[in-house]
Amino acid sequence: MALAAGPYATRALCATSFAESSFFPIPPDVVLIPMVLANRRRWAFFALLCTLTSVLGGMFGYLIGMIAFEQLAEPLLAFYGYGDKVDAFVESFNRYGWWIVFIAGLTPIPYKVITITAGATGLSFPVFVVASLVSRGLRFFVVAGLLYLFGPPIRDFVEKRLGLLFFAAVALVIGGFVMVKYLN
């Protein structure tokens, strides 16, 4: 908590949030949560910083996917005879890309995997950015807002159950769409 209120906390939040979206395995919540608890009146500022740097990191992940796929993965997949399957995957990913990025931005699914895949498949960059802004913003503002409203007692819920709650809500929405499609 002392470090979260220190002079380098904001930089640590930005760096962690950026890196997590493209290559780093630790989510920014480990920095965001103690920062909000240490200074609850700045919750919206911290959530906004976390969102913006996460999306910037996602853009970097997109670039990694765009460059690395053509240079490394595509020739390897062609060598093993999966070239035609890659085309089908790319088409499917791009058809549902907004939803895939949105869901990954909210849930415990590793967001970095989706950012790199979005670049590798050539998902529309504006679609990627908008879906990332909406989902990451929603996620970080909900986390910071809950901490602002309820303080330390809500911390355990946020750390252990909020990702699962987001995942369940998304599953219910998708299930509803599937039911409507098949009932008509």
Q: Give a three-class secondary structure readout of the chain.
A: CCCCCCCCHHHHHHHHHHHHCCCCCCCCHHHHHHHHHHCHHHHHHHHHHHHHHHHHHHHHHHHHHHHHHHHHHHHHHHHCCCHHHHHHHHHHHHHCHHHHHHHHHHCCCCHHHHHHHHHHHCCCHHHHHHHHHHHHHHHHHHHHHHHHHHCHHHHHHHHHCHHHHHHHHHHHHHHHHHHHHHHC
* Residues 11-26: tens digit of each pLDDT: 999 999 999 998 888 8
Least reliable range by pLDDT among 68-82, 103-117, 124-138: 68-82
Q: Is the pTM of this model over 0.85?
A: no
- Domain boundaries of the chain, sorted by first residue: 9-183
